[in-house]
Every structure is written in structure tokens, then in C-alpha cells.
Structure 1
Amino acid sequence: MLLAQTTDSLTEVCIVGDDQELDFTCEVLFRLTGNDLVARAGGLVTAGLRILLILTVAFVATRLARSAISRFGTTMERRIQARLDRGEQRGTLDVARYRMRRFQRLHAITGVMRGVAGVIVWVIAVFAVLQSLQINLQPILAGAGLAGIVIGFGAQQLVRDVLAGIAMLIEDQYGVGDWIEVDQRIGQVERVGLRATSIRDLDGTVWHTLNGHVQQVGNLSQEWSRSMLDIPLALDSDVPSAKAIIHKVASDLAADPVWGDDIIGPPEIWGVQDFGPGGLSIRLVTPTKPMANWDINRQLRERLHRAFSQANIRMQGQLVEVGGMASGYPLLTRDHDDAGVARQHPRRRGLVPPGVGPLDRPPEQEAADLDEPVPGTRDQTTELRLERGREPRPD
């Protein structure tokens, strides 16, 4: 009877959770002292020590994970610095821009890795603490799932931006100092973050673009660029001579001590690119260093203008059509009378250039020609005058 009563008291005092398990410390103290308060206090101390142990392990694990990630980042920094030193010795690398870009990318990636590692460790620690307190985790997990769904709907754009930023950094699509084209804007990247990218356009305006909204991005600063210039010429230009002049000008620019460093390959003439009533164009292509193609195009235009002026090669002119007449000259027209006899006026005898033919007669002679009837025709002006004279006049 006494043993059964003792067992019931032990179960009542030291039972923990819904699993009907006895706390070991509480059971030992209860059997030794027979005191409920001492047994319960011992159980609480044990639970506190267990929680403290879990938190200590989580803290140490977080520090170890972050330390390992930091060592990885330091190793990568040394490799990047060695590459920068080699590029600086060869003179083939923009050291300042490359260092800023690579280090910012590395710091962003290692920061994300440290954050993810810390979140994983502490989530596991929280669940372990709840489990040690014999708390049923199923309702908590269900509530957390519901809260995650609500937060996911509310912060889905933020999550999308962050994931896009991480992917962009890992793939090295662009970095600080690059010139990019995004959302029909061209500018230089000033800051790359996990959520947004800041670029400064040619007017000096800083645009902040969310990474999740970037569907297409063009990087103008990677590897190399290409100077592509279409030179417009008149239709009657000597194309072989023009191509020879264009090639000579481009070759001289490539050999220039100032501009030649920006040209990394021989200039090429791809031929006649366009042909139409207004003229033709010849395409010149020159491989350049990144972002040097714009300056090379400006220099080519200036030098080609000077070379064409010296060689008397005309550029495309503007074609103006006035009343269906090209270049302002009248087209050939004919008038027919009722008898089908063709009649030509001196002003309607075809395409007559200025300074030649009847268009340059004195005004008196032109007036006489206008009043003189052409053989085989009749003067309708006189007939109209007579008909108008027969009309009754109002009194």
C-alpha cells in the first residue's frame, strides 16, 4: 500500500510532458528526500541546464560556421590580390575598379553565407529547447507554417529581390564600376546590394533598380567592345576610293600613340551596309577595349570628315520632293486638247536644269511664250472669256 502510494506521488510530481516520462533528477531527489518541492526544484534545474547546454552548443556552432566562412573569404581575398598584383605588373588590368568589384562581390556572398548558417543553427536550437521542455511541436509547426504563408504573400517581392540579388552576385553578371544597360537606361554601377542596384546615368541621375525587376541587363564593360560606324556617302561616290580612304584613316588611328592603346584588333570594312535613293553607307568595324568604342567612333568621324573633304568625296545629301518633283526640277508632263493633240509648253518640256534652256529666258519672252498659242491647239482662255461675256448681267 505504501509503495503504491509512493509511486502515485512520484508520478504526480515528476511526470513531464504528455509522454508519461519521469524526469530523472526529479525522481532521484524524490526518492532520496521524499520532498515534493525539492524534487520539483531539481527537475527545473535540470531543464534549465539542458536549455543552457543547447544554447551554448548553438552559439559555439554559429561561431565555428562563421569562422569557417570568414576563413574561406580571407583565402579568396588573397587569391584575388595575387591576381591583381600580376595584372598590375603586366599593365593589363584596371586594378582599382577590379579590386572594388571583386571584393564587394566576395563580401556580399560571404555575408549571405554567414547569415544563412546562423539562421539554420538557431532554428534547430529553438526546436531543441521546445523539445526539452516537453512542449508539443505540432501546433507550433502548424502555426509557423500558416505564418510563413502569410509572410510569404506579404514579402514575396522582397524575397524575390533578395534571391535575384544572390543569383546575380554568384553569376557575376555585373559589379561596381561596370557600365550596364537596364530598363532602357545606360549608366555606371555605383552599388550592388542583395535587394537593389544603384546606377548613375549619363546625366548624373542615380537610379535604384530592384534586382527582382531586372529581366534583361546588358553589360558594356566586360571583356571587349566593338566600334561599329556606318559612313554615309552620296550615290555617285567612288566606292573603292572611299573604302581605301576609310581603311587608311582607321589604320592610322590604330597606330596613333594616344588612341592606339584602346584598339585591340585590326579595323575591318564589312562593305556597303545600306543603299537607297538618298545614298549608300559603308560599315567600318574596329574591336576596342571595353567602353572605348564611343571615343573611337568620335575620333573616326572627325578624321573621316577631314579626309573626305580633302579627297572631294561627298556625303549623303538630303533629298527633297516638291510636288512629286525630285531635287526641285519639274518632271516631263503633257497636256492634251479635245482633239488628242499633244501640246508642250516651254516650261513643261522635261527635266531642265537651271541655267539651260527656256527656263532662263527673260521675263518678257516668257510672258510672250505663255500668250502665244501652240500650233495644233486652241486658246481656251479666249473661249472662256467669250462665254463669260454672254452671261446675263443682273440689273
Structure 2
Amino acid sequence: MPIDADAPVAQAFALPLRIAIIALVAVAVTLLLRFVVSRVIRRLSRIPTKQFGAGENAKIVLGDPNRVGQRLQTFQSVLNSTIAIVVGSVAVLMILSEVGVQVAPLLASAGVVGVALAFGAQSLVRDVISGVFMLVEDQYGVGDWVELGATGTVMAAGTVERVALRITTIRDDDGRVWHIRNGEIMRVANESQGWSHAVAQVQVQPRTEITAARDVMLSVTELLRSEEPYRDAILDDPEVRVEEISGAGITLRWSVRTRPGQQWRVASAMRRRLTTAFAEHGIELV
């Protein structure tokens, strides 16, 4: 029988070739699944949302398109990470099998090691479980402005940049990035869900006529609502009430419902306009 001289060469290249094929298939499956997830997320983001409320200028948006987009983006990030982990794990097991490693005993040993690690990695398990519930309950999403803290303390406050199963990443107003373990978060203050409150407080002279000052504040609010940058931001009629009366002056509190994330811009505009309006009507600030 003739001997094929190229057989040893073919056998030498067979194993690397099979490993390369497994790696390429794993990459292709990952990219395909991520593409499918991206298409599904884009279609879900185009589903029309409903608006509820009383009146043309006082409607509250439930299922705000921006909010829906933030939540879908968060789910897309988590799904992409899960796909990479699952496909990568399967590919590694197949490659180990190709190089002659017995996978079955390895999996059995991994199960035993996993049980042992579970006792030593309780904080990790708690982080992951907390992350799952945060996503399911929609406590916050990418783009939300939040305050995250434990009991009685605030860990960090800023804009959510990434939500994973174990870690939440936010950027504060100074530009610092905070990486917070989900299991350490005991309370969440979200400024970007449903609606927000724009609040401004002013202190006027004790002799000021409260009704006159209140009318000026309401008129400034109506002027803001008639302008394009703030027409869609303000959702409801403002409320002006007396917060405090003392010998130093009278403190008036103005508040109004706004769209999520618009409260600071509206409150800032209100304070700027109010200073000029009070001066025009002879109302003196303390």
C-alpha cells in the first residue's frame, strides 16, 4: 500500500484548523445574535407610547419615548454581555474537547467548585441578583440622573452611563466616573422617571404684599410657558405658597411639574426672570 507523505502535514494542520473554525463560528454567532438583538430593540423603540393627563398643557407622559429608549438600551447592553459569555463558554469547552481534555469530568469538577465558590462569593451573587431586580423593576436606566446610596448615606449622584448585572456606572457633575456594586445600593432617587419638580425659593421683605408677589411669580411662569424652549418642558400649573415668615423676610416657594430632566433648566430660567420682574414691580428681595 502506498504511503501518503502529506498525511503527517495534514494531521498537523487539522487541529489548529478545527480550533480556528470553532473560534470563527463563535464570533459569527455572537455578531449574528447581537444583530438580532439590535433589530428587535430598534423595532420595540418604534412602538407608539401613550400619553395621559388632564388638559393640553398638563398631561403627564407615562411610557415617555426617551424613557423607553433608555430602558431598551440598558436591556440591549445586558443581553449583549450575556450572549458573549454564553457563546464564549461553549466555544472554550469545544476547543478543550478538541485538544483532548475530558470535558465531562471538568464540568463535574466545576459544579463542585461552583458550590464552594458560592459560599465565598456571596457578595457577588447579591450584586447580580440586585442587578436583575433593578432591570426588571426599571428602577433606573442609561441616561437617568440618580442618587444612589446606602441607608442614611449617598454613595454618588450623577448620570447613569452603564447598567450591568454586577456594576452600575454613573458620571457625576464634576466628570468623575463612579462604579458602584448593585448589591451595595439600598436606595435610589431617580430624577428622570415620569415627571420632575422644578423648585425655586425667594425671600422678600417682611412688608411685601404676598398676593402681589404671588401674582408676579405666576405671570412669570405663564410667560415661560408661552416660549418655545419651555412650552413642552412645563407640564402643569405652578404652585406658589408661603414657606416661612420671620423678621428677616417672607420665604415664597414656587414649584411646577416638568418633564424628566428639565427641572433644572426651568428653575434656572424662573429665577432669572423673577429677579427682573420683581424689580419692575417694586418688590424687594432680602
Q: Output the TM-score relative to the length of structure 2.
A: 0.67
Alignment partner of 2:133 out of 148, 167, 179: 167
For the residues of structure 1 that align with 2:85 and 2:132, how far apart are their CA atoms? 13
Q: What is the RMSD of the two structures over their aligned residues, measured on CA atoms?
A: 4.1
Question: Which digits, 9 at most, give the CA deviation of each residue in 1:76-126, with x for residues without a partner?
Answer: 536414327999xxxx9987885464143145257649968999xx9xxxx
For the residues of structure 2 that align with 1:174 and 1:97, how far apart are their CA atoms? 9
Match of 2:96 in 1: none
For the residues of structure 2 that align with 1:301 and 1:221, how far apart are their CA atoms? 22
The percent identity for this pair of structures is 32
Match of 2:213 in 1: 242
Match of 1:288 in 2: 258
For the residues of structure 1 that align with 2:196 and 2:244, how far apart are their CA atoms? 23
Alignment partner of 2:157 out of 186, 191, 202: 186
Cα pair 2:142 2:160 within 8 Å, conserved = yes
In structure 2, the CA distance between the partners of 1:246 and 1:262, relative to structure 1 (3 Å rule), is: same
Match of 1:200 in 2: 171
Question: Which digits, 9 at most, give the CA deviation of each residue in 1:164-221, with x for residues without a partner?
Answer: 1122122221111111111333211111111111111000001111111111111111
Question: Which digits, 9 at most, give the CA deviation of each residue in 1:272-323, with x for residues without a partner?
Answer: 111222211122121111111111111111111111112221222xxxxxxx
Match of 1:273 in 2: 243
Which structure has more relative contact order (CA 8 Å, sep 6+)? It is 2
1:80 is the counterpart of 2:41: no
Cα pair 1:109 1:166 within 8 Å, conserved = no
Alignment partner of 2:272 out of 280, 302, 308: 302
For the residues of structure 1 that align with 2:50 and 2:279, how far apart are their CA atoms? 47
Q: How does 1:96-115 map to 2 (within 5 A)?
A: 98-99=68-69, 101-109=71-79, 112=82
1:257 is the counterpart of 2:228: yes
Number of residue-to-residue matches in the alignment: 234
For the residues of structure 1 that align with 2:194 and 2:263, how far apart are their CA atoms? 13
Cα pair 1:161 1:213 within 8 Å, conserved = yes
For the residues of structure 2 that align with 1:100 and 1:223, how far apart are their CA atoms? 13
Cα pair 1:230 1:281 within 8 Å, conserved = yes
For the residues of structure 1 that align with 2:83 and 2:252, how far apart are their CA atoms? 53
- Letter paired with 1:279: G
- Letter paired with 2:172: D
How far off its partner does 1:257 sit?
2.3
Any idea what SS the aligned residue of 1:166 has? helix
Which stretches in structure 2 are left out of the alignment for 5+ residues? 1-29, 52-60, 94-103
- Letter paired with 1:167: F
For the residues of structure 1 that align with 2:214 and 2:274, how far apart are their CA atoms? 11
Farther-moved stretch of structure 1 (96-105 vs 251-260) = 96-105
Q: How does 1:23-102 map to 2 (within 5 A)?
A: 76-77=40-41, 79-83=43-47, 98-99=68-69, 101-102=71-72
Question: Which digits, 9 at most, give the CA deviation of each residue in 1:238-273, with x for residues without a partner?
Answer: 11111111111111111122222211222222x211
For the residues of structure 1 that align with 2:253 and 2:49, how far apart are their CA atoms? 40
For the residues of structure 2 that align with 1:85 and 1:288, how far apart are their CA atoms? 18
Match of 2:197 in 1: 226
For the residues of structure 1 that align with 2:217 and 2:189, how far apart are their CA atoms? 30
- Letter paired with 2:193: Q
For the residues of structure 2 that align with 1:250 and 1:233, how far apart are their CA atoms? 18
Cα pair 2:49 2:64 within 8 Å, conserved = no
Cα pair 2:199 2:253 within 8 Å, conserved = yes
For the residues of structure 2 that align with 1:290 and 1:144, how far apart are their CA atoms? 46
For the residues of structure 1 that align with 2:283 and 2:45, how far apart are their CA atoms? 53
Match of 2:116 in 1: 150
For the residues of structure 2 that align with 1:246 and 1:81, how far apart are their CA atoms? 39
Farther-moved stretch of structure 1 (152-161 vs 212-221) = 152-161
For the residues of structure 2 that align with 1:99 and 1:156, how far apart are their CA atoms? 33
Question: Which digits, 9 at most, give the CA deviation of each residue in 1:49-82, with x for residues without a partner?
Answer: xxxxxxxxxxxxxxxxx9xx98995785364143
For the residues of structure 1 that align with 2:166 and 2:235, how far apart are their CA atoms? 37
